[in-house]
Structure 1
Amino acid sequence: MPLPRAAALLAAVLLSLPLAAAPGAARAQAQTDPVPSKCLAIAQALPSVTYASYVPAQATRTSGEVTITYAGHSTYVIESPGGVRVATDYSGIYGRDPLPRVVTMNKAHTTHFTTSPDPAIEHVLPGWNPDGGEPARHAVVVDDVYIRNVTTDIRRFGTMEENANSIFIFEVADLCIGHLGHLHHALTDAHYGAIGRLDIVMVPVDGGMTQSLANMSEITTRLSSSIVLPMHRHSTPMGEFLAMMGNSYAVDYRAERSFTISLRDLPRRPTILILQGV
C-alpha cells in the first residue's frame, strides 16, 4: 500500500538503501536506481513488503491514460500520455509501425531481439550485457516514462546462463507495468523485492518453452497484479492457463488488440485480459 504523504521523505531515504536479499539469491538485481522508483518494494521483511510512494524531480511523470497494444508474440507496445512508445521483446517484426522510441529485448531466441534495430530508435535496451561481465543495468527516463530492469537467468543448451534475461518495469502515469520476458525459473524473494509493485504484468503462457503453466501461475499470483496480460502462447490452450489461475481472477476477452487504462480505472477484482491475437 502507498505510504502516507507525510512519510514521503522517509520513503526516499529508504529507497536509497540496497534491498535485503534472501539466502542464495545474490544474483537478483536489487541495487539502488538513480531515480527513486514508485513501484519498488522496500524489502524489510520479505516476503511481506511495504511499498513507497515518492515522485522524483528528475522524471516528468504525469497521471493520465496509457494505451497498451498486443503487437505479436511477446511484443506489447506501451504508449504513455506524453506519446512515448515502448515496444517489449522487440525483434523488428512486431510493433515497428509507427516506430517506437524505446525497445527492450531478451536473447533467449531471435524472436525476442534483433541485432540490427532501426537506427532511428532512440533507446535500445537489451536485457543482457552484450559485453559480458556485470549484469545489464537500465534506469532510463524518457519524458514521462521510467524504465528499469531486474535480471534473471536463461537456459542455454541444457545449462543456465546467468543474467541473460530481464524483467522490465515501466513506470508511467502512476502505473507500474511489468514484462517478464523469457523467464526460465522461479523468482526468489530478492527478485520480488527488486521488482516491487506491478499493477499490470505481461506473462508468457507457452507452458514449457519458458516454464510450466503451474510455475507461471504461481509467479503471477504472487505478483498480485490488477491486470494480467498473457503473451508468448504458441499452441497452448488459453483455458489451461486460466484454469491454473483459478476463480479469484476475472477473465476479460477483447475483440481489439489495444486497451486504454489509468490508475483510477484498474479493476477491483484481478483480471486476466486477453487481447485479440493472443
Structure 2
Amino acid sequence: MLLRLAMAFISLTLAAVGAAAQDTNRQVSQCQLMSEKLPSATFAAFKPSEDTVSRQLAALPENVTITFLGHSTFQIDTPGGISIATDFNGWLRTSKIPDIVTMNKAHSSHFTLTPDPSITNVLHGWNDAKPGEKIEHRLVVGDTYIRNVSTDIRSWGGDFEPNGNSIFIFEVAGLCIGHLGHLHHELTDGHYAEIGRLDVVMVPVDGGLTMGADSMSRTIKRLRSALILPMHRTGQPVRDFVAMFDQSFDVKVSDSPGVTVSMRTMPRKPLILVLQGM
C-alpha cells in the first residue's frame, strides 16, 4: 500500500509539472495540499522510509543544492540545471548567470533595478505598475514552479506599505522551498494557507529590522519546515533566534556555505542549519 501511494504521489507530481510546462497560466501547487482546515492545518507531506519507496525515489533526479552567497541571497541549483538567485542585488555574485532572480525592495541589498540583461526571469516582490496592490508570479521554468505570496513591508518612516514584500516559493523535485524575503510582520491564517507546506525555509534572523526573534520563531514553528536556513544577519542575532527553540529542533553550524537536499534526505527532526558565512 505504501509503495502504491508513493508511486501515485510521484506520478501526480510529475504530471502536474509537465502540464504546467505546457500552460504557464495554470496554477499548479503540490505544496498547498491540506488535510484539515486552518488554523490547525496539517499540510500534506511525503516522508519516505528506507525501503522500496526510497529506492524508487533514488532513481529520480532529486538533488537540489542551496548555497548561501551573503545577506539574503542564496543560489538554488535544481536537478534540471535551473539556477535561481534570491533577493538578488547584483553584487553578491552567483557562480553562473541565473535563469531566475527574485527581489524584494526593503533595502538596496535586496534588489537591483539594473540586473544583467541576460537574466531571463526577473521577479519583483512588489507591484511596479500598481504600488500597494499584490503582484502575482506563477510560472514554470524548466523543472521548477515559482510562485509568490505577498506580505506588507515597513517603510523607513515606520508605516506599512501593503503588499510590498513577497515570500517566494520554489517547487522542484517534490520539495517546497520558501524564502521569506524581508518579512516585517507575523503571518495571518490566509498567508499560511497560500504558502502551504515548506520543507525548506530561508528566514531573516536580524532580530528587529524584519521581526524580533520571538515573533520570527513563532512563524517558523507554525510553518513546521524540516530544514531552516537563517539569513540576513550574523553573530548575536543568529544566537538569539536559535535560543527561541527547544529540544524539538536540532541546530548545526556548517563548515560549508552550501547544502544538498532531496525529499529522501530531509531531516526527520526539524534542523536549523547555519551555513558558512552566516
TM-score > 0.5, shorter chain as reference = yes
Counterpart code for 1:144: D
* SS of match in other structure, 2:276: coil
**Distance in 1 separating the partners of 2:273 and 2:125:** 25
* SS of match in other structure, 2:244: helix
Measured after TM superposition, the shift of residue 259 of structure 1 is 1.3
TM-score calculated relative to the size of structure 1: 0.83
Name the structure 1 match of 2:184. 184
* SS of match in other structure, 2:136: coil
Name the structure 1 match of 2:48. none
- Is residue 136 of structure 2 the alignment partner of residue 137 of structure 1? yes
* SS of match in other structure, 1:190: helix
Measured after TM superposition, the shift of residue 95 of structure 1 is 3.6
**Conserved? CA contact 1:41–1:49, under 8 Å:** no
Name the structure 2 match of 1:197. 197
**Conserved? CA contact 2:207–2:237, under 8 Å:** no
TM-score calculated relative to the size of structure 2: 0.83
**Distance in 2 separating the partners of 1:175 and 1:230:** 18
Higher helix share: 2
Cα distance per residue 1:207-249 (max 9 Å; x no partner) = 0000000000000011000000000014534221111122211
**Conserved? CA contact 1:174–1:263, under 8 Å:** yes
**Distance in 2 separating the partners of 1:226 and 1:37:** 19
Name the structure 2 match of 1:154. 153
Distance 1:43 1:186, change over 3 A: farther
Aligned counterparts, 1:12-23, within 5 A: none
**Distance in 2 separating the partners of 1:34 and 1:5:** 25
Stretch of structure 1 that moved more, 94-103 or 107-116: 94-103
Ranges in structure 1 where 5+ consecutive residues have no aligned partner: 13-32, 54-61
Cα distance per residue 1:22-80 (max 9 Å; x no partner) = xxxxxxxxxxx723201014486211335468xxxxxxxx6410000001000011100
**Conserved? CA contact 1:75–1:95, under 8 Å:** no
Name the structure 1 match of 2:167. 167
Equivalenced residues, count: 248
Name the structure 2 match of 1:265. 265
- Is residue 206 of structure 2 the alignment partner of residue 214 of structure 1? no
**Distance in 2 separating the partners of 1:41 and 1:184:** 26
Stretch of structure 1 that moved more, 231-240 or 110-119: 231-240
Name the structure 2 match of 1:248. 248
**Conserved? CA contact 1:213–1:241, under 8 Å:** yes
Ranges in structure 2 where 5+ consecutive residues have no aligned partner: 14-24, 46-59
**Distance in 1 separating the partners of 2:218 and 2:122:** 31
Distance 1:81 1:7, change over 3 A: closer
Name the structure 2 match of 1:124. 122
CA-based RMSD:
2.5
Name the structure 2 match of 1:38. 30
Cα distance per residue 1:71-124 (max 9 Å; x no partner) = 100001110001100000000011433111100000011100001010000100
